[in-house]
């Protein structure tokens, strides 16, 4: 069962912040975040494991609320290079389950 | 940095034909995957492969599809009797562990069925 992402799309001006949310109805083992630019492969950003954690990577960070089965990706002081589609992927906490992606959030950063 | 390579980058085939998409995963990775992405849509899981056998497959991965690791480096996806709706970008990915390491994606093969 795929995770649900919101919003579907967002437009930012350079320097603005954004939050992308990802939620699941099933207990999760881990949440992955990837960014895909048009015509390219998805590129890994970060993984958050159950136990609830928060990770950061430059001005992109994420949190995972295990109790709510929700993760959020935070983009601060956005740059033009942040434009792309962000996918969360989830691994369920029920044995041998694959990474399943949400429908993605299209982020456009404009000057 | 090691990378996943896929060939061909673009494949055009006629409906009903068979195609084989090829992938060379990162050499020390143990888990291999195929995903597909219909234009403008989400990345859909097809199959995962470990220890020379399928570990998980989605409902998309029916008898039309098969995977193989014919030697120590290649990982292939065969699509038999292709249909128009098989047109998509097919991504191969590999990872070092199953649940808590990133997937490294290849650049994909764009399959066009005419």
Residue B53: beta bridge partners?
B50
Handedness of CA A57, A60, A63, A68 (dihedral sign): negative
Mutate which of A98, A100, A101, A106 to test chain B, going by most B C-beta atoms within 10 A? A98
Q: Digits of tens for pLDDT over chain B (114 positions)? A: 779 999 999 999 999 999 999 999 999 999 999 999 999 899 999 999 998 899 999 999 999 999 999 887 899 999 999 999 999 999 999 999 877 889 999 999 999 999
Structure tokens that stand for B95 in this block: 């990872």
Decide if A3 touches B, using CB distance below 8 A.
Answer: no
Of A74, A26, A30, whose CA–CA distance to A53 is shortest? A30
Mean pLDDT of A41-46: 93
Where is pLDDT greater, at A65 or A52? Answer: A65
Q: Span A66-88, mean pLDDT?
A: 94
State the Cα–Cα distance between residues B37 and B17, nearest whole angstrom. Answer: 20
Contact (CB<8Å) A29/B99:
yes
CA distance A23 to A5: 7
A10-43 pLDDT, tens digit per residue, is 999 999 999 999 999 988 888 999 999 998 999 9
The yes-or-no verdict on residue A6 having pLDDT over 70 is yes
> What is the homologous superfamily of the domain A4-110 according to CATH?
Immunoglobulins (2.60.40.10)
Give the whole-number percent of chain A exceeding pLDDT 90. Answer: 71
What does the block give as tokens for A65? 């609320």
Write down the mean pLDDT value for chain A.
Answer: 90
3-state SS string for A64-91: EECCCCEEEEEECCCCHHHCEEEEEEEE
Q: From the list A40, A96, A101, which residue is nearest B43 (CB)?
A: A101
Q: Quickly count: other Cβ atoms within 10 Å of residue A101's Cβ.
A: 23
Question: B99 vs A40: CB contact, 8 Å cut-off?
Answer: no
Residue B49: per-residue pLDDT: 94
Q: What DSSP string describes B3-21?
A: --EEE-SEEEE-TT--EEE
Cβ-based neighbours of A95, under 8 Å, separated by 6 or more = none
Q: Judge whether A105 is closer than 8 Å to chain B, CB to CB.
A: no
Instruction: Give bridge partners of residue A81 from the DSSP assignment.
Output: none
End-to-end CA, chain B? 37
Asked if A30 and B43 come within 8 Å (Cβ–Cβ), the reply is no
- Answer yes or no: are the C-beta atoms of B92 and B34 closer than 8 Å: yes
Q: Decide if pLDDT at A51 tops 70.
A: no
Q: How far apart are CA B27 and CA B39, in angstroms?
A: 30
Report the alpha-carbon distance of residue B111 to residue B88 in Å, rounded. 5
B65, B77 contact by CB (below 8 A): yes
pLDDT (tens digit per residue) in A91-102: 887 667 889 999
DSSP 3-state assignment of B86?
Answer: helix
Choose from A52-56, A105-109, B48-52 the range with maximum mean pLDDT: A105-109
- Kindly identify which residue of chain B lies nearest to residue A3, measuring between CA atoms: B42
Q: Closest Cα of chain A to B41: distance in Å?
A: 7
Chain B contact for A76 (CB, 8 A cutoff): no
Q: How many Cβ atoms sit within 10 Å of the Cβ of residue A91? A: 22
What residue ranges define each of the domains in chain B, with the CATH number in brackets?
A: 5-105 (2.60.40.10)
């Amino acid at each position: 069962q795929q995770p649900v992402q919101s919003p579907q799309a967002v437009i930012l001006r350079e320097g603005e912040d954004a939050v992308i949310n990802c939620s699941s109805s099933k207990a999760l083992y881990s949440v992955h975040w990837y960014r895909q630019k048009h015509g390219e492969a998805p590129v890994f950003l970060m993984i958050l494991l159950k136990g609830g954690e928060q990770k950061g990577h430059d001005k992109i960070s994420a949190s995972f609320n295990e109790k709510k089965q929700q993760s959020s990706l935070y983009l601060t002081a956005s740059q033009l290079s942040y434009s792309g589609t962000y996918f969360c992927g989830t691994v369920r906490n029920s044995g041998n389950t694959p990474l399943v992606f949400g429908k993605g959030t299209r982020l456009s950063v404009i000057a | 940095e090691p990378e996943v390579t896929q060939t061909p980058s673009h494949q055009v085939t006629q409906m009903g034909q068979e195609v084989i998409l090829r992938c060379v995963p990162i050499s020390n990775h143990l888990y291999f995957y195929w995903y597909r992405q219909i234009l403008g849509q989400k990345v859909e899981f097809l199959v995962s492969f470990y220890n020379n056998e399928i570990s998980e497959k989605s409902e998309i991965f029916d008898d039309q599809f098969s995977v193989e690791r014919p030697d120590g480096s290649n990982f292939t996806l065969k699509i038999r009797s292709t249909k128009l709706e098989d047109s998509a970008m097919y991504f191969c990915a590999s990872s070092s562990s199953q649940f808590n390491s990133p997937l490294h994606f290849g650049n994909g093969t764009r399959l066009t069925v005419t």
